[in-house]
Protein backbone atom coordinates (compact mmCIF):
# COMPACT_ATOMS: atom_id res chain seq x y z
CA UNK A 1 0.00 0.00 0.00
CA UNK A 2 2.87 2.39 0.79
CA UNK A 3 4.43 1.87 -2.65
CA UNK A 4 1.12 2.67 -4.34
CA UNK A 5 0.77 5.95 -2.41
CA UNK A 6 4.34 6.92 -3.24
CA UNK A 7 3.65 6.17 -6.91
CA UNK A 8 0.52 8.35 -6.89
CA UNK A 9 2.42 11.14 -5.13
CA UNK A 10 5.20 11.03 -7.73
CA UNK A 11 2.66 11.11 -10.57
CA UNK A 12 0.87 14.12 -9.06
CA UNK A 13 4.22 15.87 -8.57
CA UNK A 14 5.21 15.38 -12.23
CA UNK A 15 1.78 16.45 -13.50
CA UNK A 16 2.06 19.61 -11.38
CA UNK A 17 5.58 20.33 -12.66
CA UNK A 18 4.53 19.82 -16.30
CA UNK A 19 1.45 22.00 -15.77
CA UNK A 20 3.54 24.83 -14.32
CA UNK A 21 6.04 24.53 -17.19
CA UNK A 22 3.21 24.69 -19.73
CA UNK A 23 1.87 27.88 -18.08
CA UNK A 24 5.35 29.44 -18.13
CA UNK A 25 5.73 28.61 -21.84
CA UNK A 26 2.35 30.21 -22.62
CA UNK A 27 3.25 33.37 -20.67
CA UNK A 28 6.56 33.67 -22.51
CA UNK A 29 4.81 33.20 -25.87
CA UNK A 30 2.31 35.95 -25.03
CA UNK A 31 5.08 38.35 -23.98
CA UNK A 32 7.07 37.66 -27.15
CA UNK A 33 3.91 38.05 -29.26
CA UNK A 34 3.05 41.42 -27.70
CA UNK A 35 6.61 42.63 -28.20
CA UNK A 36 6.51 41.58 -31.82
CA UNK A 37 3.14 43.29 -32.36
CA UNK A 38 4.45 46.50 -30.80
CA UNK A 39 7.54 46.38 -33.04
CA UNK A 40 5.37 45.91 -36.15
CA UNK A 41 3.10 48.74 -35.05
CA UNK A 42 6.09 51.06 -34.55
CA UNK A 43 7.28 50.14 -38.05
CA UNK A 44 3.81 51.11 -39.35
CA UNK A 45 4.11 54.52 -37.69
CA UNK A 46 7.66 54.94 -38.96
CA UNK A 47 6.49 54.35 -42.56
CA UNK A 48 4.24 57.43 -42.36
CA UNK A 49 5.96 60.55 -43.66
CA UNK A 50 5.24 63.31 -41.10
CA UNK A 51 5.26 65.93 -43.88
CA UNK A 52 2.70 63.95 -45.89
CA UNK A 53 0.56 63.62 -42.75
CA UNK A 54 0.77 67.39 -42.19
CA UNK A 55 -0.53 67.97 -45.72
CA UNK A 56 -3.70 65.90 -45.16
CA UNK A 57 -6.62 68.33 -45.02
CA UNK A 58 -10.35 68.12 -44.33
CA UNK A 59 -12.14 67.10 -47.51
CA UNK A 60 -9.30 64.88 -48.83
CA UNK A 61 -10.57 61.52 -50.10
CA UNK A 62 -9.70 58.12 -48.70
CA UNK A 63 -7.82 57.40 -51.93
CA UNK A 64 -5.70 60.53 -51.49
CA UNK A 65 -4.90 59.63 -47.88
CA UNK A 66 -3.96 56.06 -48.80
CA UNK A 67 -1.67 57.37 -51.55
CA UNK A 68 -0.01 59.83 -49.17
CA UNK A 69 0.32 57.64 -46.07
CA UNK A 70 0.11 54.07 -47.32
CA UNK A 71 -2.18 51.26 -46.22
CA UNK A 72 -3.51 51.82 -42.68
CA UNK A 73 -2.55 49.35 -39.98
CA UNK A 74 -6.17 49.16 -38.84
CA UNK A 75 -9.49 50.87 -39.25
CA UNK A 76 -12.62 51.27 -37.19
CA UNK A 77 -16.12 52.30 -38.14
CA UNK A 78 -18.34 53.92 -35.55
CA UNK A 79 -21.66 55.67 -35.54
CA UNK A 80 -22.21 58.81 -33.52
CA UNK A 81 -25.82 59.14 -32.41
CA UNK A 82 -27.75 62.20 -33.44
CA UNK A 83 -29.24 64.82 -31.14
CA UNK A 84 -33.00 64.99 -31.50
CA UNK A 85 -33.35 68.40 -29.84
CA UNK A 86 -31.04 69.94 -32.46
CA UNK A 87 -32.46 67.86 -35.33
CA UNK A 88 -29.00 66.38 -35.98
CA UNK A 89 -28.95 62.92 -37.52
CA UNK A 90 -26.49 60.20 -36.58
CA UNK A 91 -23.20 60.14 -38.45
CA UNK A 92 -20.99 57.25 -39.56
CA UNK A 93 -17.24 57.74 -39.14
CA UNK A 94 -14.47 55.54 -40.52
CA UNK A 95 -11.12 56.08 -38.77
CA UNK A 96 -7.79 54.74 -40.03
CA UNK A 97 -4.76 54.14 -37.81
CA UNK A 98 -1.02 53.76 -38.33
CA UNK A 99 1.22 52.67 -35.44
CA UNK A 100 -1.59 51.82 -33.02
CA UNK A 101 0.81 50.31 -30.45
CA UNK A 102 3.60 52.81 -31.12
CA UNK A 103 4.60 55.76 -28.98
CA UNK A 104 2.85 58.24 -31.28
CA UNK A 105 0.18 56.72 -33.54
CA UNK A 106 -1.53 58.49 -36.42
CA UNK A 107 -5.31 58.68 -36.91
CA UNK A 108 -7.35 59.99 -39.83
CA UNK A 109 -11.16 59.95 -39.65
CA UNK A 110 -13.55 60.18 -42.58
CA UNK A 111 -17.21 61.01 -42.97
CA UNK A 112 -18.78 59.94 -46.26
CA UNK A 113 -15.30 59.14 -47.62
CA UNK A 114 -13.77 62.56 -46.88
CA UNK A 115 -11.34 63.56 -44.13
CA UNK A 116 -13.00 65.29 -41.18
CA UNK A 117 -10.20 64.98 -38.55
CA UNK A 118 -6.63 63.87 -38.18
CA UNK A 119 -4.62 63.36 -35.00
CA UNK A 120 -1.26 62.23 -33.77
CA UNK A 121 -1.17 61.19 -30.14
User: Average pLDDT for residues 67-83, to the nearest whole number?
Assistant: 82
User: Average pLDDT for residues 103-110, to the nearest whole number?
Assistant: 90
Domain ranges across the chain: 2-120
Give the pTM: 0.60
- Strands of 2-90 (E only): list them: 74-80
pLDDT at residue 34, rounded to an integer: 47
Residue 79, CA distances (Å) to 56, 90, 112, 115, 119 in order: 23, 7, 12, 16, 19
**pLDDT tens digits, one per residue of 20-33:** 555 655 555 544 44
* More confident position, 44 or 63: 63
pLDDT at residue 56, rounded to an integer: 96
* More confident position, 47 or 64: 64
- Whether residue 74 is predicted with pLDDT greater than 50 in this model: the reply is yes
| Yes or no: domain 2-120 corresponds to CATH 3.30.1450.10 | yes
Residue 52, CA distances (Å) to 63, 72, 74 in order: 14, 14, 19
Amino acid sequence: MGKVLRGVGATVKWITILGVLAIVVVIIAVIVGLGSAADESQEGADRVDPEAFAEIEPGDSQREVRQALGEPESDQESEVAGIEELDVESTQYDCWYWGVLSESPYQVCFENGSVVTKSRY
